[in-house]
Amino acid sequence: MAIEAAFMVPHPPMIVPEVGKGSEKQVQKTIDSYKRVAEEIAAIKPETIIISSPHSVMYYDYFHISPKKGARGDFGRFGAAGVSFDEKYDTELVSLIEKNAGKADLQAGTMGEKDPGLDHGTMVPLFFIRQKYTDFRIVRIGLSGLDLPTHYELGMIIKKSAEELGRRCVYIASGDLSHKLQDYGPYGFAKEGPEYDKKIMDTASRAAFGEMLEFDEGFCEKAAECGHRSFVIMAGALDGCRVKAKVYSHEDVTGVGYGICSFYPETGDDGKALAYDDRRFLDIYLKKESARLNTNLEKSDGYVKIARKTIDRYIRTGKNPKADELAPLLTKEEISELTEKRAGVFVSIHEHGALRGCIGTILPTASSIMEEIVQNAVSASTNDPRFEPIDRSELPYLEINVDVLTSPEPIDSPDELDVKRYGVIVTCGSRRGLLLPDLEGVDTVEEQISIAMSKGGIQRGEDYRLERFEVIRHK
């Protein structure tokens, strides 16, 4: 068996006595649980410990796996330089993970290292483990901004690679829970904070890994969670396995959630992990998601159906659909609206809850709304500079919105804005930033203006002007 066990653990530096200097005693349950985890790992005697850390090198669209033969680190930035580590990497396993990721067309590898030093998300678990067991190498993996199913897929690749090498491994999913559990905490309080902690601890207690894929991105952001993507990679590393889950502790006394759990795969008489189709959570999730989106598309109006048809046709053939192919998708009223009127249009594409592309026009540039939708659907799926062009394999999982804009009108004050009703345009000279209304995670006018300014490269203190507009949103 490759993944002998997996553990969810937090990484507050203050639980290291040399850092906490006594303050660590307020989370004694977490410390006691960590010691138990270390003892269990020592009993397993793994050859390699795989650690995913939110504080390792992170890219939006790429998983960084630490390269070279090893790395060093210490808690100097936390006032305890004497607590240091000199770790050796399992270069053979790293190489195979990178190779298998390439075969699966998943963006992961050893390129782009910024800082070779060990991060505290890696060192805190090692601090406890090395007190009980030292005969191992590590693999250190960073998270990414990619969607949750892609993180799960990386876990599956890690599992496959360990199995191919016959490597006995333990997986450590390093990550704190919500950072918004108490008013006195470092990030204050949000109601989503305790909701997240309760939900993730319940999910972990049942090893209901499929539910981890369904956590809403906006909810996670509002909860200011740290480790969710790390936990999802771990879940992927246990794909197909029926596991025995156990919660050791959960604490929130510092305003940050610290949860510790273990997951042991069930094995047969031959010592191999037992495989179950009902535990292949990525397959289950993708089938359910595809069915949901097909049902939603059937209920959508012609605006969304035009965008969907355009994206499908262009990604598959490199050509736009013809007008006579689009007309049957519309009602008589929609045909008149779409072919006789002009307006600015934004086409937004999401995949598994994450933005996958968004391109639009503030004012009309085409002869009709229909043509505006077609040209912006192509651009959103292939020319958004923030993303790679959409691949054919992604088509079943795309969720598409079309926003038709009213003409912008100048306003004198942010008091004339409403984040739910109005979008905003911020202009300074030739620079311009726009933000649509009623976006998840944008709750105040101040946030709306700030994001629009950032998109336009406009700095605070510069002389800018504001415009507002309304949209008709088609889903």
Rounded to whole angstroms, the Cα distance separating 349 from 388 reads: 13
Shared domain for 382 and 281, answered yes or no, is no
Non-local CB neighbours of 388 within 8 Å, separated by 6+ positions: 61
Look at the block and give the residue holding tokens 């960084």: 64
Shared domain for 147 and 242, answered yes or no, is yes
137 contacts 89 by C-beta, under 8 angstroms: yes
Q: Which domain holds residue 115?
A: 3-287
Shared domain for 303 and 271, answered yes or no, is no
Shared domain for 340 and 249, answered yes or no, is no
| Within-domain flag for 421 | yes
| Within-domain flag for 257 | yes
Shared domain for 312 and 248, answered yes or no, is no
- Residue-wise pLDDT tens for the chain (475 aa)? 699 999 999 999 999 999 999 999 999 999 999 999 999 999 999 999 999 999 999 999 999 999 999 999 999 999 999 999 999 999 999 999 999 999 999 999 999 998 899 999 999 999 999 999 999 999 999 999 999 999 999 999 999 999 999 999 999 999 999 999 999 988 999 999 999 999 999 999 999 999 999 999 889 999 999 999 999 999 999 999 999 999 999 999 999 999 999 999 998 777 777 788 999 999 999 999 999 999 999 999 999 999 999 999 999 999 999 888 999 999 999 999 999 999 999 999 999 988 999 999 999 999 999 999 999 999 999 999 989 999 999 999 999 999 999 999 999 999 999 999 999 999 999 999 999 999 888 999 999 999 999 999 999 889 999 999 999 999 8
* H or E stretch at 298: helix 281-299
Count structural domains, the chain.
Answer: 2
Which one-letter amino acid corresponds to residue 444? T
| Within-domain flag for 400 | yes
The pTM of the full predicted model, rounded to 2 decimals, is 0.89
Burial of 5 (0-12, 13-18, 19+ CB in 10 A): buried
Shared domain for 153 and 253, answered yes or no, is yes
What pLDDT, on the 0 to 100 scale, is given for residue 363? 93
| Within-domain flag for 422 | yes
- The CATH number assigned to the domain holding 452 equals 3.30.700.20
* H or E stretch at 141: strand 137-142
- The CATH number assigned to the domain holding 43 equals 3.40.830.10
| Within-domain flag for 292 | no
Non-local CB neighbours of 467 within 8 Å, separated by 6+ positions: 408, 409, 410, 411, 424, 425, 427
* Segment 264-308, tens digit of pLDDT: 999 877 777 778 899 999 999 999 999 999 999 999 999 999 999
CA nearest neighbour of 3 among 48, 57, 36: 48
3-state secondary structure 316-373: HHCCCCCHHHHHHHCCHHHHHHHHHCCCCEEEEEEECCEEEEEEECCCCCCCCHHHHH
Of the residues 287, 319, 336, which one is the last residue of a structural domain?
287
382 contacts 316 by C-beta, under 8 angstroms: no
Phi, psi of 74 (to 5 degrees): -155, 175
Of the residues 260, 287, 314, which one is the last residue of a structural domain?
287
Non-local CB neighbours of 166 within 8 Å, separated by 6+ positions: 2
Of the residues 287, 307, 334, which one is the last residue of a structural domain?
287
458 contacts 428 by C-beta, under 8 angstroms: yes
Shared domain for 265 and 342, answered yes or no, is no
233 contacts 149 by C-beta, under 8 angstroms: no
